């Protein structure tokens, strides 16, 4: 019964896993979402940016680089490679576009193929080690019931392609010569950059760790150099063709290394977004989504057995033969833990890194992902240790029991999928008939705020998807930060000079922006239209405004600001609805502060807010006082210069009061003109290129 011989031929094994993968895909997505023509389930989280990146790419002509996605962002656009829409799938389905419907998306297909390749490669790896088909089939289910694999289905589809990692280990285990392995490793490496760059980093690291160990053994430096060229040159060439280098290298970096890291007890903590992925183990601490690396109780039992096997049966292990795997495990583990060593919610050690080292490591900002190959090493060799340590019958009983324990333990996580439960989305439909006119008149949708952080992409995604015109409102994993800032400044400058581009209409991000634009364009043929509780500036669109919109704009100045009350600007929702904050500001959601953005920032007070006899008190912080940078600010009210403010290097805060009683107009426009705005990039403090000068902490209206 437990013979090593095959009881099922290879063809039937493949059909079996195709069937299992289809059933699991059906369970995860539900009957409707499997359909490649259905997209509503994708309108949330990172999935919606992946969907729109794909739709724009699919409906565009071929460009060079091949991944260029010009219409999705225009001047700030980049390659499809920087989205969660893997180039491998995007290229294939765009190539056969003529045979596909216009509303086709491949994400359900991606999920199915990822499940199939995950479980099938898991089977092949274990069978390669054990030559026992039944044992390998049962063990293979551990590869798809692995939380680090399943949880990414809810977030970033391209990151569920763990078959790339498994392919590496399968080739590693093959009994073939080095030259043959080298070819296969190169193919895996090239495929990885057509899926997601994190997989490329993992595969490249594992290849070069192995190659360095070989160099240490044979001291053949020429061969090492040739192999380095062999792997890197084709990779760089393919990355160039795909479009990885459309962005300056600086903009491929991301902050977060040392924050999105592996906690020392991440393997045992089942917390994910308020849900416990364990039926048996309690939540130990609460961490961000990227901090999730729970193994599942079944795999934890495998890890415990593996450790005991290594300790007590070390004489049976050829460590010299396994040194490549050992070094891969240790180096990737160290990189995943990062410079911040944490145990639960306690920081044990935080190492300061040289800024250049930090910049390099920022390529793997979510360093916890680098632990995935290590988890597969634990799973593969842990399962093999069970097979080696017990007879065939006992090992089969044990692996069956462990697999059942794993499934039961992560049942809470599995139930969160349950026929599409994770993908129930309340989509905001933009059904206004006037949008047909807008689509005919304009080629581009833009915004008063272009930045990823504050452009309300998720809110507007259904509108962008419906219109499918060129868009500067995008959510990009990597973007040219300088161009993004310059585009925001260009739009603001055009507004201030009433020279906005006639082929664009604009989303208005805040009530303060609406108040400011209303003042600028009060004598112009500009419409302010509200679609689904979102305001838009439509050039030459005044005749499209309905009665409610006209009344709202007309009455925008009637709600007075409460006197003698400190209005603190440390809440994003309050900022969105504060009609005093005009153009030229940026709200940072990380530190909850309102920064000046660019050379000019504006505050707008309406007639009934000042009543001609009030004073406004503004409380500022100097962004650069720690850097000993003098900061000059000129203050204008209704284009009349009233004061010059100096933030000297020792001044961190400054309050100013402006007497409004001198200005007898319906609107009072306070303009702050900055002479030395600098970005974090300018100061070598970060990669952000927004030009900052001051933080506006609060304001208060008081009696004169």
* Average pLDDT across the chain, whole number: 91
Residue 689 DSSP symbol: -
DSSP labels, 109-168: HHHHHHHHHHHHHHHHHHHHHH--HHHHHHHHHHHHS-HHHHGGGGT-GGGG-THHHHHH
Q: What are phi and psi of 588, to 5 degrees?
A: -90, 110
- At residue 672, the pLDDT reads 96
3-class SS of residue 681: coil
Residue 575's Cβ-count burial label (10 Å; 0-12, 13-18, 19+) is buried
Rounded Cα distance between 484 and 645, Å, is 29
- The pair of structure tokens assigned to 130 is 């054990």
Residue 23 has pLDDT above 70, yes or no: yes
Residue of higher predicted confidence among 230 and 365 = 230
Q: How many CA atoms lie within 13 A of 499 on its CB side?
A: 4
The confidence band for 2, taking pLDDT boundaries of 50, 70 and 90, is very low
pLDDT tens digits for range 608-646: 544 557 889 999 988 876 666 777 899 999 999 998 888
Residue 453 has pLDDT above 90, yes or no: no
| Interhelix angle 178-192/221-242, nearest 10 degrees | 30
* Secondary structure letter of residue 55 according to DSSP: H
Strands 600-606 and 340-343: unpaired
Confidence band (pLDDT; 50, 70, 90) for 1? very low
Question: If you average pLDDT over residues 477-486, what whole number do you get?
Answer: 90
From CA 677, how far away is CA 696, in angstroms rounded? 14
Residue 560 banded pLDDT, cuts 50, 70, 90: low
Exposure string (b/e) for 168-195, b if CB count within 10 Å is 16 or more?
bbbbbbeeeeeeeebebbbebbbbbbbb
Confidence bin at 378 (pLDDT 50/70/90):
very high
What is the Cα–Cα distance from 634 to 620, expressed in whole angstroms? Answer: 14
Average pLDDT over every residue of 203-223: 94
Of 185-189, 476-480, 510-514, where does mean pLDDT reach its minimum? 476-480
List CB contacts of 444: < 8 A, sequence separation 6 or more. 74, 469, 470, 471, 472, 501, 503, 504, 505
**Confidence check: pLDDT of 498 > 50:** yes
Q: Which two tokens stand for residue 244?
A: 């990885």
Phi-psi domain of 219 (left: phi exceeds 0; alpha: psi -120 through 50; beta: other): left
In eight-state DSSP terms, residue 354 is P
Question: Is the per-residue pLDDT at 313 higher than 80?
Answer: yes
Q: Is the pLDDT of residue 3 over 50?
A: no
Residues in the chain, overall count:
704
Report d(CA 676, CA 678) in Å as an integer. Answer: 6
Task: Decide: helix, strand or coil at residue 175.
Answer: coil
Query: Got the DSSP string for 606-668?
Result: EHHHHTTSEEEEEEEEETTGGGT--EEEEEEETTEEEEEEEE-TT--EEEEEEEGGG--SSEE
Instruction: Indicate the Cα dihedral angle 210, 213, 218, 219, nearest 10°.
Output: 110
Which stretches within 219-296 are classed as H helix? 221-242
pLDDT digits (tens, 9 = 90+) for 28-57: 999 999 999 999 999 988 899 999 999 999
* Among 190, 198, 167, CA closest to 380: 167
- H/E segment holding residue 348: strand 346-350
Question: Distance between CA 456 and CA 478 in Å, rounded?
Answer: 17
The residue-averaged pLDDT of 169-182 equals: 95
Under 8 Å between Cβ of 600 and 672: yes
Strand 346-350 to strand 631-637: parallel, antiparallel, or no bridges (unpaired)?
Answer: unpaired
- Report H helices in 67-106: 87-95
614 neighbors 660 (Cβ within 8 angstroms): yes
What is the predicted pLDDT for the residue at 610? 46
Closest CA to 567 of 703, 658, 700: 700
Determine the 3-state secondary structure of 248 from DSSP: coil
DSSP codes joined into one string, 582-619: -SSEEEETTTTEEEE-SSEEEEEEEHHHHTTSEEEEEE
- Give the tokens for residue 590: 């990380």
Band of the pLDDT at 6, cuts 50, 70, 90?
A: low
CB atoms within 10 A of CB 215: 16
* pLDDT score at 500: 82
DSSP string, 399-464: HHHHHHHHHHHTHHHHHTTTTTGGG---------THHHHHHHH-SEEEES---TTTS-HHHHHHHH
At 202 the pLDDT is 97
Chain center to CA of 498: 35
Rounded (10°) CA dihedral 228, 229, 235, 241: 160
Residue 32 phi, psi (nearest 5): -75, -40
**Positive/negative CA dihedral, 633, 634, 636, 642:** positive
Question: What number of H helices and E strands is found in the chain?
Answer: 23, 19
pLDDT in tens, 188-207: 999 999 999 999 999 999 99
The CA distances from residue 555 to 107, 148, 516, 549, in Å, are 46, 53, 14, 10
């Amino acid at each position: 019964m437990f013979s090593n011989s095959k009881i099922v031929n290879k063809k039937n094994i493949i059909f079996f896993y195709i069937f299992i993968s289809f059933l699991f895909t059906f369970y995860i997505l539900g009957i409707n979402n499997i359909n490649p023509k259905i997209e509503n389930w994708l309108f949330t989280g990172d999935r919606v940016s992946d969907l729109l990146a794909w739709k724009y790419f699919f409906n565009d002509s071929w460009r060079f680089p091949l991944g260029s996605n010009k219409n999705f962002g225009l001047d700030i656009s980049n390659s499809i490679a920087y989205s969660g829409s893997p180039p491998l799938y995007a290229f294939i389905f765009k190539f056969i576009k003529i045979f596909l419907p216009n509303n086709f998306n491949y994400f359900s297909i991606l999920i199915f193929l990822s499940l199939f390749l995950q479980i099938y490669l898991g089977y092949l790896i274990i069978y390669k080690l054990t030559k026992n088909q039944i044992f390998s089939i049962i063990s293979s289910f551990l590869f798809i019931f692995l939380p680090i694999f399943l949880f990414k289905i809810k977030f970033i589809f391209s990151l569920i392609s763990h078959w790339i990692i498994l392919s590496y280990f399968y080739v590693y285990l093959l009994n073939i010569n080095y030259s043959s392995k080298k070819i296969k490793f190169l193919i895996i490496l090239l495929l990885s950059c057509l899926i997601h760059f994190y997989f490329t980093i993992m595969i490249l690291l594992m290849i070069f760790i192995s190659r360095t160990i070989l160099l240490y053994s044979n001291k053949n430096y020429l061969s090492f150099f040739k192999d380095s060229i062999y792997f890197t040159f084709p990779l760089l060439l393919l990355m160039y063709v795909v479009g990885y280098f459309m962005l300056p290298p600086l903009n491929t970096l991301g902050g977060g290394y040392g924050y999105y890291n592996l906690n020392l007890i991440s393997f045992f903590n089942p917390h994910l977004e308020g849900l416990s992925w364990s039926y048996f183990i309690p939540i130990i601490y609460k961490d961000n989504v990227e901090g999730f690396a729970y193994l599942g109780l079944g795999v934890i039992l495998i890890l415990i057995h593996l450790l005991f096997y290594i300790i007590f049966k070390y004489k049976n292990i050829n460590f010299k033969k396994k040194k490549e795997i050992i070094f891969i495990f240790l180096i990737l583990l160290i990189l995943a833990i990062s410079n911040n060593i944490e145990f639960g919610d306690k920081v044990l050690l935080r190492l300061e890194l040289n800024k250049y080292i930090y910049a390099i490591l920022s390529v793997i900002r979510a360093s916890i992902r680098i632990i995935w190959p290590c988890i597969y090493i634990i799973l593969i060799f842990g399962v093999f240790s069970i097979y080696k340590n017990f007879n065939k019958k006992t090992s089969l009983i044990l692996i069956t029991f462990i697999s059942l324990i794993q499934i039961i333990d992560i049942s809470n996580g599995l139930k969160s999928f349950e026929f599409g439960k994770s993908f129930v989305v309340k989509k905001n439909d933009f059904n206004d008939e006037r949008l047909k006119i807008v689509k005919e008149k304009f080629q581009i949708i833009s915004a008063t705020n272009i930045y990823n952080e504050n452009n309300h992409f998720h809110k507007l995604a259904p509108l962008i998807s419906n219109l499918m015109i060129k868009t500067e409102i995008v959510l990009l994993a990597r973007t040219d930060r300088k161009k993004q800032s310059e585009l925001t400044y260009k739009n603001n400058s055009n507004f201030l000079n009433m020279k906005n581009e006639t082929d664009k209409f604009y989303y208005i991000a805040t009530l303060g922006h609406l108040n400011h634009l209303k003042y600028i364009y009060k004598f112009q043929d500009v419409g302010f239209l509200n679609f689904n509780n979102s305001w838009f500036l439509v050039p030459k669109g005044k005749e499209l405004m309905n009665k409610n919109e006209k009344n709202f704009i007309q009455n925008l100045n009637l709600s007075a600001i409460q006197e003698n009350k400190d209005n603190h600007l440390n809440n994003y929702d309050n900022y969105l609805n504060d009609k005093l904050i005009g153009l030229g500001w940026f709200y940072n959601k990380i530190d909850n502060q309102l920064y000046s953005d660019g050379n000019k920032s504006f505050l707008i007070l309406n007639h009934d807010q000042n009543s001609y006899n009030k004073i406004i008190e503004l409380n500022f912080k100097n962004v650069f006082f720690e850097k000993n940078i003098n900061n000059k600010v000129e203050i204008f009210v209704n284009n009349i210069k009233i004061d010059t403010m100096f933030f000297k290097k020792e001044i961190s805060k400054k309050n100013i009061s402006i007497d409004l009683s001198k200005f007898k107009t319906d609107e009072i426009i306070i303009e702050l003109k900055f002479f030395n705005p600098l970005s974090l990039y300018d100061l070598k403090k970060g990669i952000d290129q927004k030009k900052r000068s001051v933080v506006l902490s609060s304001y208060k209206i008081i009696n004169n």
